[in-house]
Structure 1
Amino acid sequence: MLWIKAFHIVFIASWFAGLFYLPRIFVNLALETDPTATARLLLMARKLYRFTSILMGPALLLGIWLWLGYGFKGGWLHAKLALVVLAIGYHHACGSLLKKFEQGGAARPNRSHVWFRWFNEVPVILLTAITILVVVQPF
Structure 2
Amino acid sequence: MLWLKAFHIVFVITWFAGLFYLPRLFMYHAEATDQVGIERFKVMERRLFVIMTIGATLAAIFGVSLLMSAPGLMKAGWIHVKLTLVVLLIGYHIWCQRLMVSLRDGTNRHSARWFRIFNEAPALLLIAIVVLAVVKPF
TM-score, scaled to structure 2: 0.96
> Aligned partners of 1:131 and 1:30: how far apart in 2?
31
Q: What is residue 32 of structure 2 aligned with on the other side? A: 32
Give, in whole Å, the separation in 2 of the partners of 1:7 and 1:54: 13
Distance in 1 between residues matched to 2:79 and 2:133, nearest whole Å: 8
Q: CA deviation at 1:54?
A: 1.2
Match of residue 114 from structure 1 = 113
Aligned residues: percent identity? 49
The 4+ residue runs of structure 1 with deviation greater than 6 A are none
Query: Using the alignment, how far apart are the partners of 1:129 and 1:90 within structure 2?
Result: 15
Superposed counterparts of 1:96-115, under 5 Å: 96-104=98-106, 107=107, 109-115=108-114
| Structure 1 portions without partners, runs of 5+ | none
**SS of residue in 2 equivalent to 1:63:** helix
Deviations 1:77-120 (A, max 9, x none): 1100000001111111000000011111xx2x211111100100
Amino acid at match of 2:137: P
Give 1:55 deviation, angstroms. 1.3
Query: Distance between the aligned counterparts of 2:24 and 2:53, measured in 1?
Result: 17
Q: Output the TM-score relative to the length of structure 1.
A: 0.95
Corresponding residue of 2:136: 137
Q: Shift in Å at residue 3 of structure 1?
A: 0.6
Separation (CA, whole Å) in 1 of partners of 2:65 and 2:77: 19
User: 1:54-73 residue pairs with structure 2 within 5 A?
Assistant: 54-71=54-71, 72=73, 73=75
What's the offset of the Cα at 1:22?
Answer: 0.2
- For these two proteins, the number of residue pairs brought into alignment is 136
Alignment gaps of 5+ in structure 2: none
